[in-house]
């Protein structure tokens, strides 16, 4: 049940563009794709709900031009839902007539899932293909609000009915209290340390300082922290996502699946109906049985595995194609010939190294910026990395879709990444005490409820996951995630990956010339200045 209240007038307007005004899960309707994209983009950097952002910053803002773009008329929302219902029979005939699930990829929806934990947000974002996610950022929004006198974290039903309930509330409140109490003093310290330069606007400076403070503090928040997320996806992808969520061991994931399924059924009913029908339940059973069987077998073998110390490197190169250059050259020549691939491979094996090198350098080209990436031949070579980093960092890197990754359950056993700035400012002991309380509770809970114990893990605690990507994605990943405005934690991961590729394939790694190894005090400053220039240009254009 949504906690936010709207006036009758607001309800009349919003009902034309939202499938409901009562649930935390709803779908946008009657909006052009460009407006939906802009709305979700603004949503990710706002503490407001999606409905409130739509109402105040789009519909009611005269400068948005919303009325001219969309048009306001009573009953449009209801008319679309009626039209959707009529169209369901048609889609059913198409699905039956062609028997092709790919038809479900032709219809999509924008789903908003609000007041869900950071843990379940990752469950939903695990779907790499067919779904584009966005969530409220911990870099631009403070999480210190107490709308009902309570901090915004999940009171998970199984935990709240267990013997850990009291301590869970106490620990989560302590983490939030610690986070909230440091916002003002850290802001003042950063302002004193980095005074505003004459060429920096008040807007850009305030946004930069805010991002810096958020970056330093976000690790204190527990995984139970409630957030808002938006998802655009096609019907086929949503159907599979719902089936997986229905099979989740987390009650929250199952509840969000039910609420999301209800809303998606209002706009793309034929495409998601199998998520929980006979076939959907069979799929859920398959996932559940397999998970439990593997868990038992793995538990038997885990006694022989000893976790490494907390000093483990951020990134290790687990595996890579030793013959990456030959594979890439083969792919290049194959696309530029009419020969069978085995013939091309045999030819490449006999080529002088200098010829291969010349071909690779030509394929990489001059590259004027990071968006100019080599072609698909670079997808022939793969690298597998094991990453040890905090959950906050993982949240940022997790959304990359053109790769394979799998994570371990959240834990406190690998330690906490304490920002040096907090130690230097004299806040290290205070933060460490709150994290220690979370570690103590986690150690008790994990024995009886390993999945639910994850909720109390602070975002700054280290975890492990592996990433397998091809070289083309590595170019994109390392250059994008090392950019100046990025969070220092994931910038180091991108830099380490590049260094490891350079060690085994120096020629291929040198082509990544836009990996940024610089060190910056205010990472977001230059990016905010660019935003100022764009805003000025838009203002001049309007004038």
pLDDT digits (tens, 9 = 90+) for 376-421: 999 999 999 999 999 999 998 998 888 999 999 999 999 999 999 9
The CA-based dihedral angle spanning residues 409, 413, 417, 423, taken in that order and rounded to the nearest 10 degrees: 150
| 46 and 174 together in one domain | no
pLDDT at 474: 97
Q: Report, as an integer, the average pLDDT of 524-539.
A: 75
In terms of domains, do 338 and 487 share one?
A: yes
Q: Is residue 252 part of a domain?
A: yes
DSSP assignments along 225-266, one per residue: BEEEEEEEEEHHHHHHHHHHHHT-S-HHHHHHHHHHHHHHHH
Tokens of 12: 């009349």
Sequence-distant (≥ 6) Cβ neighbours of residue 266 within 8 angstroms:
19, 27, 81, 84
In a domain, 330, yes or no: yes
239 and 129 together in one domain: yes
Statement to judge: residues 211 and 284 lie in one domain? no
What is the per-residue pLDDT for 386?
A: 96
Domain check: are 440 and 478 in the same one?
no
Whole-number pLDDT of residue 300: 76
Contact 455, 169 (CB under 8 A): no
Is the domain of 43 the same as that of 189?
no
Q: Chain-wide mean pLDDT for the chain? A: 88
Do 249 and 209 lie in one domain? The reply is: no
Q: Are residues 36 and 131 in the same domain?
A: yes
Does residue 39 or residue 538 have the better pLDDT?
A: 39
Helices 471-481 & 488-504, crossing angle to 10 degrees?
140
Q: Does 444 lie in the same domain as 474?
A: no
pLDDT of residue 311: 55
CA 3 to chain CA mean position, Å: 25
Q: Tell whether 50 is covered by a domain.
A: yes
Residues 507 and 482 in one domain: yes
Dist. CA 117–CA 228, nearest whole Å: 9
Is 279 found in the same domain as 132? yes
Q: Are 444 and 171 in contact (CB under 8 A)?
A: no
How many folded domains does the chain comprise? 3
In a domain, 30, yes or no: yes
Contact 457, 438 (CB under 8 A): yes
Domain that holds residue 504: 317-391+465-512
Q: Are residues 15 and 29 in the same domain?
A: yes
Cα(330)–Cα(345) distance, integer angstroms = 6
Greater confidence (198 vs 42) lies with 198
Token couple for 339? 């020969």
Residue 42, domain member (yes or no): yes
pLDDT higher for 539 or 277? 277
């Amino acid at each position: 049940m949504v906690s936010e209240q709207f006036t009758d007038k607001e309800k009349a307007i919003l009902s034309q563009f939202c499938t409901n005004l009562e649930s935390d899960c709803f779908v946008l309707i009657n909006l052009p794709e460009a407006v939906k994209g802009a709305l979700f983009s603004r949503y990710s950097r706002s503490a407001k709900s999606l409905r409130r952002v739509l109402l105040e910053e789009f519909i009611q803002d005269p400068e948005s031009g919303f009325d001219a773009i969309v048009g306001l008329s009573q009953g449009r929302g209801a008319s679309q839902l009626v039209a959707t219902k009529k169209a369901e029979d048609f889609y059913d005939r198409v699905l039956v007539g062609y028997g092709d699930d790919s038809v479900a990829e032709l219809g999509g929806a924008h789903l908003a899932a609000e007041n869900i934990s950071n843990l379940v947000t990752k469950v939903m974002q695990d779907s790499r293909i067919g779904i584009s996610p966005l969530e409220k950022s911990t870099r631009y929004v403070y999480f210190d609000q107490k709308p009902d006198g309570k901090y915004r974290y999940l009171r998970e039903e199984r935990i709240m009915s267990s013997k850990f309930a009291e301590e869970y509330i106490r620990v989560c409140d302590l983490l939030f209290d610690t986070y909230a109490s440091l916002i003002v003093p850290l802001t003042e310290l950063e302002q004193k340390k980095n005074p505003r330069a004459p060429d920096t606007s008040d807007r850009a400076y305030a946004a930069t300082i805010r991002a810096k403070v958020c970056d330093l503090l976000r690790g204190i928040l527990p995984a139970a922290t409630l957030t808002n997320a938006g998802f655009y996806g096609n019907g086929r992808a949503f159907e599979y996502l719902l089936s997986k969520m229905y099979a989740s061991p987390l009650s929250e994931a199952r509840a969000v699946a039910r609420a999301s399924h209800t809303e998606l059924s209002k706009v793309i009913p034929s495409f998601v109906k199998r998520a929980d029908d006979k076939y959907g339940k069979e799929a859920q059973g398959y996932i559940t049985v397999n998970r439990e069987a593997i868990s038992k077998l793995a538990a038997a073998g885990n006694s022989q595995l000893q976790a490494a110390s907390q000093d483990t490197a951020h990134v290790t190169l687990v595996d890579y194609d030793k013959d990456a250059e030959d594979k890439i050259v083969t792919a290049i020549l194959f696309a530029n010939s009419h020969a069978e691939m085995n013939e091309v491979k045999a030819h490449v094996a006999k080529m002088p190294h200098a010829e291969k090198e010349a071909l690779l350098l030509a394929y990489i080209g001059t590259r004027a910026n990071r968006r100019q990436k080599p072609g698909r031949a670079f997808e022939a070579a793969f690298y597998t990395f094991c990453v040890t980093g905090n959950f906050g960092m993982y949240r940022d890197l997790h959304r990359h879709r053109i790769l394979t990754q799998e994570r371990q359950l959240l834990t406190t056993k690998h330690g906490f990444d304490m920002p040096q700035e907090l130690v230097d400012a004299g806040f290290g002991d205070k933060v460490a005490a709150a994290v220690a309380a979370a570690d103590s509770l986690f150690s008790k809970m994990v024995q009886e409820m390993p999945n639910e114990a994850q909720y109390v893990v602070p975002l700054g605690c280290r975890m492990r996951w592996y990433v397998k990507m091809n070289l083309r994605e590595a170019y994109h990943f390392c250059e994008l995630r090392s950019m100046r405005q990025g969070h220092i934690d994931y910038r180091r991961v991108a830099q380490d990956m590049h260094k490891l590729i350079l060690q085994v394939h120096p020629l291929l790694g040198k082509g990544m010339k836009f990996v940024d190894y610089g060190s910056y005090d205010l990472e977001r400053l230059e990016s905010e200045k660019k935003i100022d220039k764009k805003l000025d240009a838009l203002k001049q254009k309007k004038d």
